[in-house]
Amino acid sequence: MSHSKISSIPIIDLSKLDGSDATRAEFLKELRVAARDVGFFYLINHGVDPTLLSQVQGTSRDFFALPQAEKDRVAMVNSRHFRGYNRAASERTRGQPDWREQFDLGAERQPIPQTEHSPAWSRLQGPNQWPEALPELKPLLLNWQKAMTAMSLKILRAFAESLSLPVDSFDPLYGDKPNEHIKLIRYPGRGENESNQGVGAHKDSGFLSFLLQDQQKGLQVEVEEGRWVDALPIEGSFVVNIGELLELATNGYLRATVHRVVAPPAGKERLSLAFFLGAKLDAVVPVFQLPSELAAQANGPESDPQNPLLRDVGWNYLKGRLRSHPDVAERYYSELLVS
């Protein structure tokens, strides 16, 4: 399909993966085409408990409603692992402030012991910060993280199958320590004369991203250069998009697509919950050998000149974090910063 004909985001039904052979084959083709032509799709019937999703949304709203002083007690600048809370306009995309407040967490693991030879990216692993004023947040989010990891690895195996690769092709990139990353995001309303950059135009750096939206629109996808399509909320669905590592692994056969969020108007707000599945930090992403008919259609990965892709997962992830969070970079990674 030519990009000029794309006017909406495709809808993919994950329950078809467990259907008859014909239904399964149809699903795999739909998945491959959506990921190649658009790089974005809605995922329905994904099997993640709707009650859990509703609880996660409600408790996330409770977190953002906490007094500012309580949220600041778990500020990201306290964490060398880039975990914690950021006020609106403290994260930057392409050098401009993003008007969203957010809470970042990753897999709850012990820090990697450091020696003088440890790579800087090894500091990314470690515990999360949790707000004392909202103790129910920790078990709920770790439960959601577990459910999302299981579902996303199922999708990743379906991708391998859709590309005529062995179903476990991507498994060694995860091992027992996939780089799971969750962002709770609240976009406050913005007036007509204020910047409406909820988050600036960018590609995601990992393998797969899953977004649970509320009812307020804002996410836009660049289906071809300069032409944006709204990813309007669909109740109970995830918006899924391909990250740069999956584009890299398929030599550009699959598409990591530029997207952005437009802040809501004054008097409104938008809550979105993002789950990012990344490879383990010490992985190096290979280029997988696709069947000749698919390989012939691969475009090569489109690296952003402002943000070149790295095959080394840890360095690629750290590079993005340093750029997005200059205060954390200055405090814990000053030796990496170019003065």
pLDDT averaged over every residue in the chain: 92
* Residue 299's pLDDT band (cuts 50, 70, 90): confident
Question: DSSP label at 185?
Answer: E
Is 163's pLDDT higher than 80? yes
Q: Mark out the alpha helices in 14-136 (DSSP H runs).
A: 21-37, 50-64, 68-72
Is 3's pLDDT higher than 60? no
Q: Report whether 106 contacts 128 (CB < 8 A).
A: yes
Q: Where are the strands (E) in 247-322, listed by range?
A: 259-262, 269-278
CATH class of 3-107+116-336: mainly beta
pLDDT of 300: 82
Name residue 41's amino acid. Answer: F
Is 263's pLDDT higher than 70? yes
Domain coordinates in residue numbering, the chain:
3-107+116-336
Is 178's pLDDT higher than 60? yes
Q: What is the pLDDT of residues 116-131, one digit of tens each?
A: 999 999 999 999 999 9
User: CA Rg, the chain, in Å?
Assistant: 19
